């Protein structure tokens, strides 16, 4: 589903107003601050700057709710809804914890028929005083759930509610509402037909008998204080009920066993002829239900459309899951976890109940592992659950695990960027809320580690990079390290210089990244983690003197010199290391630190590298150091003139590569070099400018003009003492500029456009391809082991043919066995590493990373190493073939450690309903 319907004009306008209140509105004196003899704390109120603005009721109601959902609704924002400017009839404020009585007095001037205002920090008695007379006489629905009833006297609160004579629906769930309050409400509200007393202190529902002929909807979810046995009989008398909810959550009150005589309120099931008009029945969490009684009750209630059985094994019954069962009803929706249909129904029904949402997501996770196609409907439900319960850990960890399965690989390529942006935003909120939980952080990294998300989706890249770096510093895990540095290497190339400086200014980030480099250097390993770490450091230091200084202060330069010595000829490592040092050389105040004889000697060697990328960056460093002038080189044992000659000779011998070696965000580092007196320095600068302008003129020619580079080129062309070779390249640059300089960058690819601003992309390995890197590493690994296998077999055959009897039965049998082992291992690794490509030949799914520490590929590689070692050692003695027994021995050890031992010695299992047992484990 790459396409989604655009938001309506009305929705777009509401979103714009919410996001730009301070530009569209202004504060003016509030003439009602002292009206009615009451002094208000709000001397000012908001009005639209345009005096002719008036918002009709539907748009006003949308604007009010959207402000609340976005967390922007305060007393000041509420003052915008003055009756002279807006109209409110149906008011919805899901979270009113920031509002005061003074702010809510704005409602007095509106004629309200439906009022939802949850989470009040004062009593409904005070709320009633904020409503006008018309509203008091005509209000039909009132929702004050999660509010407080405890500040004033109960009698006053109930007397205030009793004024609402036209009230038809009342929701007081999650409050201190009690039996006395229930009695007063039932007595004084003659039109009441819908009542929600879930999670209240009501311990006796016998007052409901007074409204048995008119009560149609009754919700008593988690009503744990019921003690009066007669309450069961009350339900039998409510013959007009259409919906009944008596569900509960055991986890929310584990000490309910100490409530003496708690009534289950399910005895109506033993009287199947009762409640004849019932269309919705919720029994979730009622563990004492009997299968026979429930099924018998359903036989007499064919009009039932919904049956809640979450947390109950009864949802697994065939009559609810098997469409061919004689008692199966396609019109009856079941809330449970037996199959996908039940889980999705439960998520929609119970989206505001965190324990139910967590239970659904836990069971949904098992299903998402095998979804063959993208499921936008499920993604939206998971995201809604995350939004509704941002501080509930079990919901967040289950949701992040589901989202990874729903967006990974090819599935993510079929999801619209707006939905993926929402996925990332909520995952980042979870990371920020639970920074110390390993599995949740890992789930989020798995989701973020996607080229589509990092390259194409409009996300807050700076915040993402910051949270990922925090995660990197918090956990010592090889797979998390690999994902973290991969994400950072890409994001660091796409955020502004000011933002990279903020990240780089944190010494803990730099120290962690350098620690990873040192670990790989000491192990003499160049893997994907090493390459991503070097890319991240390169991009973080780009045009950021602050980050460069931090790098030097924590000992980065000596480490990078050691890396160059440890991996000579490793072009990928040398390019990234020199790219970072080039960033340092661009900072004039830091150049003297690089003028060390040992480093200059290494640099001179790399200057002559056959890899043009390596030679290019080595030359760039030399050019910046040489630009410091003769005095700066006086303390260096190597002569500046000698270095300049080598620099000029190398640049003149370069053959321009087919592709663009590096992406720059500006030409500022080159401008100062153009004014240097040394022609070799100028030569490198103009060669670099010409190279990028040739490869991507639409981007770089306008940039050259913006950075005043075109003027500098003209000055060189008009100069008298300019080197002819420099002038030749300058003429070619001027020709390119005249063609492309004033044109907009029409052919700039999406990867080149930052979603945060319009600045050119950063220098460095911009758009580092995580999937592509893995594919390349896998190919190198397979090539290495193929060569190892061919070498081992070749040596064995040649040595046996010359010194032994190759055609003996034993030697042929062992040769066949080893060959089959090699073939099986290589085929298995090739199958795991099989990559998927789209129509543009871009990598969608890299397959399994064969170099991942602790992965199954490690065991396969160990098997090939053991086989080849045994095969070669058998040339000394056939007894060495016995080493092959280590393979089944190791297999038995893993079988015992991971399966048999936990099975025989595991602790007694806890109840499956316990939320703490539902923690998900996603393994990379």
Look at residue 182 and tell me whether its pLDDT is greater than 50: yes
Helices 393-407 and 417-433: angle between axes, nearest 10 degrees: 150
Cβ atoms of 849 and 771 within 8 Å: the answer is no
**pLDDT, mean of residues 825-835:** 84
Cβ atoms of 632 and 592 within 8 Å: the answer is yes
What's the pLDDT at 912? Answer: 35
Look at residue 1 and tell me whether its pLDDT is greater than 50: no
Give the model confidence (pLDDT) of 720-733 as tens digits. Answer: 888 888 888 888 88
Determine the Cα–Cα distance for residues 434 and 431; give it in Å rounded to an integer: 5
pTM (two decimals): 0.73
Buried/exposed 179-218: b ≥16 CB within 10 Å, e otherwise: bebbbbbbebbeebbbbbbbbbbbbbbebbeebeeebbbb
What's the pLDDT at 905? Answer: 54
**pLDDT, mean of residues 591-618:** 89
Cβ atoms of 376 and 2 within 8 Å: the answer is no
Give the model confidence (pLDDT) of 275-296 as tens digits. Answer: 999 999 999 988 878 889 999 9
Look at residue 687 and tell me whether its pLDDT is greater than 80: yes
Neighbours of 439 (CB within 10 A): 16
Burial of residue 302, with CB atoms counted within 10 A of its CB: 0-12 exposed, 13-18 middle, 19 or more buried: exposed
Give the model confidence (pLDDT) of 133-158 as tens digits. Answer: 999 999 999 999 988 877 655 444 55
Sign of CA dihedral 854, 524, 833, 363: positive
Stretch among 285-294, 606-615, 828-837, 913-922 having the lowest mean pLDDT: 913-922
Give the model confidence (pLDDT) of 422-478 as tens digits. Answer: 999 999 999 999 999 999 999 999 999 988 899 889 999 999 999 999 999 999 988
Helix then strand then coil, in percent of the chain rounded to 5, is 55, 5, 40
Compute CA 478 distance to the chain's CA centroid, rounded to the nearest angstrom.
20
Query: Average pLDDT of the chain?
Result: 84
What is the share, in percent, of the chain residues with pLDDT greater than 70? Answer: 87
Give the model confidence (pLDDT) of 838-869 as tens digits. Answer: 666 666 666 777 776 656 777 888 888 988 88
Look at residue 603 and tell me whether its pLDDT is greater than 50: yes
What's the pLDDT at 37? Answer: 45
What's the pLDDT at 913? Answer: 36
What's the pLDDT at 801? Answer: 79
Helices 354-368 and 393-407: angle between axes, nearest 10 degrees: 30
What is the share, in percent, of the chain residues with pLDDT greater than 90? Answer: 39
What's the pLDDT at 330? Answer: 92
Look at residue 923 and tell me whether its pLDDT is greater than 70: no
What's the pLDDT at 497? Answer: 86
**pLDDT, mean of residues 779-803:** 85
Task: Say which residues have a Cβ less than 8 Å from residue 706's Cβ, sequence separation at least 6.
Answer: none
- Three-class SS string for 364-412? HHHHHCCCCCCCHHHHHHHHHHHHHCCCCHHHHHHHHHHHHHHHCHHHH
Region of 222 on the Ramachandran plot (φ > 0 left; ψ -120 to 50 alpha; else beta): left
Give the model confidence (pLDDT) of 220-247 as tens digits. Answer: 998 887 766 677 788 999 999 999 999 9
SS3 assignment, position 629: coil
The alpha-helical segments, DSSP class H, found in 667-755 are 668-674, 679-695, 697-706, 709-718, 724-740
pLDDT tier for residue 350 given thresholds of 50, 70 and 90: very high
What's the pLDDT at 219? Answer: 95
**Residue found under tokens 């913006």:** 706
Give the model confidence (pLDDT) of 89-112 as tens digits. Answer: 999 999 988 898 888 999 999 999
pLDDT tier for residue 257 given thresholds of 50, 70 and 90: very low
Task: Say which residues have a Cβ less than 8 Å from residue 178's Cβ, sequence separation at least 6.
Answer: 154, 200, 201, 202, 203
pLDDT tier for residue 216 given thresholds of 50, 70 and 90: very high
Neighbours of 800 (CB within 10 A): 19
Q: What structural domains and CATH numbers belong to the chain?
A: 460-752 (1.25.10.10), 772-876 (no CATH)
Look at residue 899 and tell me whether its pLDDT is greater than 80: no
Look at residue 160 and tell me whether its pLDDT is greater than 80: no
What's the pLDDT at 762? Answer: 41
**Residue found under tokens 């409640």:** 275
Q: φ, ψ for residue 690 (rounded to 5)? A: -65, -40
pLDDT tier for residue 769 given thresholds of 50, 70 and 90: very low
**pLDDT, mean of residues 27-37:** 66
Cβ atoms of 434 and 390 within 8 Å: the answer is no
> What is the DSSP secondary-structure string of 142-169?
EE-TT----SS-HHHHHHHHTT-TT--E
CA proximity to 693, closest of 745, 629, 769, 616: 745
Give the model confidence (pLDDT) of 637-662 as tens digits. Answer: 778 888 888 888 988 888 888 777 77
């Amino acid at each position: 589903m790459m396409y989604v319907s655009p938001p309506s004009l009305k929705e777009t306008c509401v979103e714009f107003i919410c996001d730009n209140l301070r530009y569209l509105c202004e504060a003016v004196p509030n003439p009602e601050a002292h009206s009615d003899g009451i002094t208000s704390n709000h001397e000012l109120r908001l009005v639209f700057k345009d005096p002719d603005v008036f918002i009709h009721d539907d748009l006003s109601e949308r604007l009010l709710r959207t402000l609340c959902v976005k967390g922007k609704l305060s007393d000041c924002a509420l003052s915008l809804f003055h009756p002279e400017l807006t109209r409110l009839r149906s008011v919805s404020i899901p979270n009113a914890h920031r509002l005061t009585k003074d702010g809510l007095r704005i409602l007095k001037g509106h004629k309200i028929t439906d009022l939802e205002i949850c989470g009040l920090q004062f009593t409904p008695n005070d709320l009633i005083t904020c409503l006008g007379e018309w509203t008091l006489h005509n209000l039909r629905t009132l929702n004050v759930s999660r509010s407080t009833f405890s500040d004033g006297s109960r009698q006053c609160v109930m007397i205030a509610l009793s004024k609402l004579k036209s009230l038809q629906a009342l929701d007081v769930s999650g409050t201190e509402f009690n039996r006395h309050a229930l009695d007063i409400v039932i007595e004084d509200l003659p039109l009441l037909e819908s009542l929600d007393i879930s999670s209240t202190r009501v311990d006796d529902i016998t007052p409901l008998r007074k409204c048995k002929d008119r009560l149609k909807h009754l919700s008593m979810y988690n009503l744990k204080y019921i003690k009066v046995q007669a309450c069961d009989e009350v339900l039998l008398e409510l013959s007009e009920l259409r919906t009944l909810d008596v569900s509960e959550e055991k986890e929310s009150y584990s000490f309910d066993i100490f409530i003496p005589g708690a009534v289950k309120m399910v005895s109506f099931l033993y009287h199947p002829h009762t409640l004849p008009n019932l269309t919705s029945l919720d029994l979730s969490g009622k563990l004492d239900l009997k299968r026979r009684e429930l099924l018998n009750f359903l036989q007499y209630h064919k009009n039932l459309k919904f049956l809640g059985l979450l947390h109950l094994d009864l949802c697994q019954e065939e009559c609810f899951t098997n469409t061919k069962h004689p008692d199966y009803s396609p019109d009856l929706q079941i809330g449970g976890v037996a199959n996908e249909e039940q889980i999705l129904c439960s998520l929609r029904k119970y989206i505001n109940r965190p324990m139910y949402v967590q239970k659904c997501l836990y069971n949904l996770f098992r299903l998402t592992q095998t979804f063959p196609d993208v499921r936008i409907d499920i993604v939206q439900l998971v995201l809604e659950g995350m939004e509704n319960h941002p501080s509930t850990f079990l919901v967040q960890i289950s949701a992040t695990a589901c989202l990874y399965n729903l967006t990974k690989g090819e599935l993510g390529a079929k999801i619209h960027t707006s939905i993926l942006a929402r996925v990332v935003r909520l995952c980042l909120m979870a990371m920020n809320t639970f920074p110390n939980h390993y599995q949740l952080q890992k789930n989020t990294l798995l989701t973020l580690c996607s080229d589509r998300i990092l390259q194409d989706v409009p996300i807050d890249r700076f915040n993402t990079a910051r949270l990922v770096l925090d995660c990197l510093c918090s956990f010592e895990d090889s797979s998390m390290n690999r994902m973290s540095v991969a994400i950072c290497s890409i994001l660091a190339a796409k955020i502004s210089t000011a933002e990279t400086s903020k990240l780089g200014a944190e010494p803990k980030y730099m120290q962690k990244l350098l620690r990873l480099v040192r670990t790989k250097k000491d192990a003499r390993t160049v893997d994907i983690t090493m390459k991503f770490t070097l890319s991240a450091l390169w991009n973080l230091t780009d045009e950021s003197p602050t980050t460069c200084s931090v790098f030097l202060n924590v000992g980065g330069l000596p480490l990078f010199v050691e890396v160059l010595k440890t991996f000579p000829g490793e072009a990928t490592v040398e390019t990234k290391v020199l790219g970072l040092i080039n960033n340092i050389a661009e900072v004039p105040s830091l150049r003297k630190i690089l003028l060390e004889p040992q480093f200059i000697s290494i640099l001179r060697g790399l200057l002559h590298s056959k890899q043009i990328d390596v030679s290019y960056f080595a030359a760039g460093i030399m050019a910046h150091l040489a630009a410091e002038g003769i005095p700066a080189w006086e303390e260096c044992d190597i002569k500046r003139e000698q270095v300049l000659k080598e620099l000029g000779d190398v640049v003149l011998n370069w053959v321009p590569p087919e592709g663009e070696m590096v992406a720059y965000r500006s030409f500022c580092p080159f401008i100062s070099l153009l004014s240097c007196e040394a022609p070799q320095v100028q030569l490198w600068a103009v060669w670099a400018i010409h190279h990028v302008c040739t490869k991507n003129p639409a981007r770089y020619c306008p940039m050259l003009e913006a950075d005043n580079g075109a003027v500098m080129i003209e000055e060189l062309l008009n100069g008298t003492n300019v080197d002819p070779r420099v002038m030749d390249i300058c003429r070619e640059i001027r020709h390119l500029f005249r063609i492309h300089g004033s044109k907009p960058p029409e052919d700039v690819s999406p990867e080149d456009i930052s979603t945060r601003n319009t600045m050119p992309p950063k220098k460095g390995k911009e758009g580092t391809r995580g999937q592509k890197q893995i594919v390349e590493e896998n190919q190198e690994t397979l090539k290495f082991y193929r060569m190892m296998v061919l070498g081992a077999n070749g040596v064995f055959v040649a040595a046996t043919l010359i010194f032994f009897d190759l055609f003996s039965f034993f030697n042929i049998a062992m040769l066949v066995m080893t060959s089959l082992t090699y073939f099986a291992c290589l085929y298995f690794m090739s199958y795991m590493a099989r990559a998927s490509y789209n129509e543009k030949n871009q990598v969608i799914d890299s397959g399994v990373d064969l170099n991942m520490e602790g992965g199954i590929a490690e065991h396969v590689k160990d098997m090939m190493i053991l086989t080849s070692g045994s095969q070669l050692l058998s040339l000394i003695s056939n007894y060495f073939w016995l080493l092959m027994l280590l393979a089944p021995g190791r297999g038995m050890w893993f079988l015992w450690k991971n399966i048999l031992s936990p099975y025989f010695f595991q602790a007694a299992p806890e109840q499956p309903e316990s939320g703490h047992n539902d923690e998900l484990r996603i393994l990379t």
